Structure 1
Amino acid sequence: MFRKINKWCVGALTVVLMTGTFNAKAQPDGATLFKKCATCHSPFKDGTGPKLKDVRAKWADGGAKEGSINQWVRNWEAAAAADPYAASVAKVKPTNMDKFPALTDEEIDAIFNYVDAQEEPVAATAAVDGGSGGAVVEEESSIGWIWIILGIVFVTIILSVGGVRRQLTIANAEQEGKDVEDAPSYGAEFKAWAWKNRKYVGMASLVIVISLVVSLFLALYSIDVREGYQPSQPIDFPHSVHAGINGIDCKYCHNSVTESRTAGLPSVNVCMNCHKQVTGTTPEQQEKIKKIYEAAGWDGSVYTGQTKEIIWNKVHVLPDHVYFNHSQHVVAGGVDCIQCHGDMKTMKETAKVQPVSELNKLEGNVKLTKPTLTMGWCIECHDQKGISEGPLDTKGDGYYAEIHRRLLNNDPKLYQEYLKDGKVSVKELGGWECAKCHY
């Protein structure tokens, strides 16, 4: 047994490290996934959406079809069409639920399991958090810690077995009358063992190094990837009503989008252009419009001068070292707003960072694969997006006409190479140069 223990320990340690590195996230983390829901839902209190505590039991008692609630989470419209109970739920709230088509049944169950496991906070807790009545969502330790603990246990076992083996070796030497004073140290024994089994030690070391490098890069790739991020706002703004039903052009409110690097938020004065006359037809609408009046200092007949600033929560946040110019994309590039923001005419809630899977469903959009607002997403679009077709500028813009002229005069062969796919892409005109987007 002890003669084979070294190989067994190396193999076991390798399996633990490999399994811990690549499968640490195999089980869905309900607490982390619930953060996507926490903007609208609380376990114990109705908010923008209904409370979620024991919601599965509520659906089952109400006669919902099996699996209907999971389908509701992914696509409430499909669930409402297939299940009468889901259709009745759709009529309860005036605000439609967001769709999460990428969530699996296991992930949805993990969210509900996490919510059902929460204990309702007592009155003292409610007093501390301002009486909100919402659950105190605590960060759960990552499942990766389990594998770290197991790794420590296995290392302890290996060291213990090595110590026992050493004592048996010394005892055997004493029995044979050998001098135990000259017994090698632990370090010397380990070096001798490692050299004797250098092939296995080298393979295990290589596996460990590769695992650590892969884990590091996976962690780096996930930094600030926030598809589906949607913060709450002080005033609800239904784009589906303004841009959809009423047909208000995006540029009316975001009037700097063609002139500036930022699209800009509309001032309260822009809102008042319409809402001095449009006061709302329901008590809920009137209450929301009242917040606009308070911000503008309007008492219904005159401006009082007592204004109140509206603190909007920023949705799209780029790192400081990234440069993005809206006017360059909208005016020179002719990029439609839906390419990045999605179809705002159908969104009832404040604009959010749309998942790339949702953006790809829209007609006319360049089909991309990388997560929204990542560097890969941008350069993939620059690679596929054509700024004009054919040997002449199809936009009637002097900027592109001059680029075409220079290419034709200076390097006709390169120009023809560009036109093999029938277009000149942003990448081919320098759109992949680092300094285009980075300071």
Structure 2
Amino acid sequence: MFNMGNKGLFALVLTLIMLTTFTSGAQEGESIFNSKCATCHQPHKDMTGPKLFEVRQKWEEGGAMEGSLHQWVRNWQVAAATDPYAKEVSSWAASSMTTFADLTDEQIEAVFDYVDAQPKEEAVTPGDTGGNSGTSTPVEEESLGWVWYVLGAVFLVLIISLGGTKRQLQEMDEDNDSYIKVGSKAWIFKNRKYVGMGVLVVVMAGVVWLFLGLYQIGVVTAYQPSQPIAFPHDVHAGINGIDCKYCHNSANKSKTAGIPTTNVCMNCHKQVQGEGDQVEKIKKIYASAGYSPEGGGKYSGETENIVWNKVHNLPDHVYFNHSQHVEIGGIDCKQCHGDMTKQNALPRVVPVEELNEIEGNIQLTKPTLTMGWCIECHSEKEVSTGSLEGKGGYYDEIHKRLLENDESLYEEYLEDGKVTVSELGGWECAKCHY
């Protein structure tokens, strides 16, 4: 019979409590860093933004006001207006930091704790081509460091428990009853049914906690990278009423929606030169196109690339076609991207709760851009509100085959007044996965 003793039981409970507290805080810091910071920052390397290792210590040594660093993360302009050190920091780089007004002090501290816990990268070894240095985009990966803490805790408990077991075996005599005659041993044996149930509950809770953590891998809800130009969608799509497909002109005929070239911008901005803070943004467009508005305007032929940061990268094993959804499915852009006519902030992965608030959107429950989100939409969105006839080659053929081979199945599809994507095979793995 295995018995870890009072000390072993106490050590197990204490270790589990400490481990749960530490890993939850560390995982939160890592998750926030990967979703909001990693596009521009690394712990030990300057990128678009400076390295973040021991940034709290740097601000303290630099004479920053208390709470100024937290305010900088939430809104750097406010911090620069109230703290001389923050104002000095704001002059170090030409690019502006994205604001994160929703982060609490605890979440910001969790990010800094995670960053400070990261070891410095190994030097480049002989034979390393260094092809990724200086130009690579940070890869959002889940750290497995917590696994070592779990294994360490398990070994610690085993060592304590085996030590207690050894002492107990030495005290045992030939009568097995002597093993359970006094103290906590007797209580545990007497209440072994409840103790067993308690252990089962703890084990099940651990399994549930593990799977809940796994379910968060790849979830990038609310991710919002910085951009070289703070493009106001509400001005272009809202106030000026420019159709989405004027700029993203391949959305209805290609797999990707496309990012507009500078030439598309220049169609309007040869004449529209902006007012106030708009002037500096439009100057970046002119620099990219090699255009000078002076003297009636002329092109120099010297162009500069505008490097936009992707909001979401589709996994390599997943197939998605914009034109299929826009043309055949009739999906409005706001179903996935939100109402861009009211969006002044930089593009981001819009949470499903916000998407559900938009009039006309299909009400979904799974996190945006996850597999569950797509499957749920496929079960709710119709391809047709009636017969498939006249929908185009692929669907016309399905219409023909159903009538010829299984008309009753077709009638079953139409019972609710619509033919959904899932009814036509939209839940088959091979439809979306290579």
TM-score, L = length of structure 1:
0.65
CA distance 1:202–1:114, shift in 2 (3 Å):
closer
Q: CA deviation at 1:13?
A: 7.8
Whether the aligned pair in 2 keeps the contact of 1:28 and 1:110 (CA below 8 Å) is no
Distance 1:400-1:17 versus aligned 2 partners, 3 A rule: farther
Q: 1:142 to 1:431 in 2, by over 3 A?
A: same
Residue correspondence of structure 1 range 302-381 to structure 2 within 5 A: 302-381=298-377
**1:114 CA displacement:** 5.6
- Residues 20 and 372 (structure 1 numbering): CA distance in 2 closer, same or farther, change over 3 Å? farther
User: Is the Cα–Cα contact under 8 Å of residues 231 and 313 in structure 1 kept in the other structure?
Assistant: yes
Where does 1:119-198 land on structure 2 (aligned, <5 Å)? Answer: 151-169=154-172
2:404 to 403, 409, 421: 409
Matched, 1:418 2:413: yes
1:272 to 266, 283, 297: 266
Matched residues in 1 for 2:73 and 2:217: separation? 30
Change (3 A) 1:34 1:27: closer
Change in CA separation of 1:410 and 1:23 when aligned onto 2, cut-off 3 Å: farther
SS at match of 2:306: coil
Identical-residue share of aligned pairs (%): 50
Q: Match of 1:49?
A: 75
Partner of 2:431: 436
Matched, 1:239 2:239: no
- Cα deviation, 1:409-430, whole Å, max 9, x if unaligned, reads 3212211222222211000011
**d(CA) in 2 for partners of 1:375, 1:347:** 25
Once residues 324 and 304 of structure 2 are traced to their aligned partners in structure 1, the CA distance between those partners, rounded to angstroms, is: 34
C-alpha separation in 2, matches of 1:228 and 1:340: 13
Q: Contact between 1:16 and 1:151, CA under 8 Å: does it hold in 2? A: no
Shift of 1:30: 6.6
Q: Deviations over 1:34-58 (max 9, x none)?
A: 64665899826758933687x9x99
Q: Deviation of residue 15 (structure 1)?
A: 5.7
Runs of 5+ in structure 1 lacking a partner? 59-94, 101-106, 119-138, 174-197
1:289 partner SS? helix
Match for 1:259 among 238, 253, 256?
A: 253
Q: 1:213 to 1:26 in 2, by over 3 A?
A: closer
Q: Is residue 30–residue 110 contact of structure 1 (8 Å, CA) maintained in 2? A: no
Displacement of 1:16: 6.8
> What's the TM-score, normalizing by structure 2?
0.66
Measure the CA separation in 1 of the matches of 2:73 and 2:298: 34
**Letter of the 1:308 counterpart:** E
Counterparts of 2:164 and 2:74, CA distance in 1: 59
Counterpart Cα distance in 2 of 1:162 and 1:4? 7
Change (3 A) 1:289 1:324: same
Relative to structure 1, is the Cα distance of residues 397 and 5 closer, same or farther in structure 2, using a 3 angstrom cutoff?
Answer: closer
1:6 Cα deviation from its structure 2 partner: 4.5
Give 2:216's match in structure 1, choosing from 201, 217, 222: 222
Relative distance call for 1:99 and 1:256 in structure 2 (3 A) is farther
- How far is 1:303 from its partner? 0.6
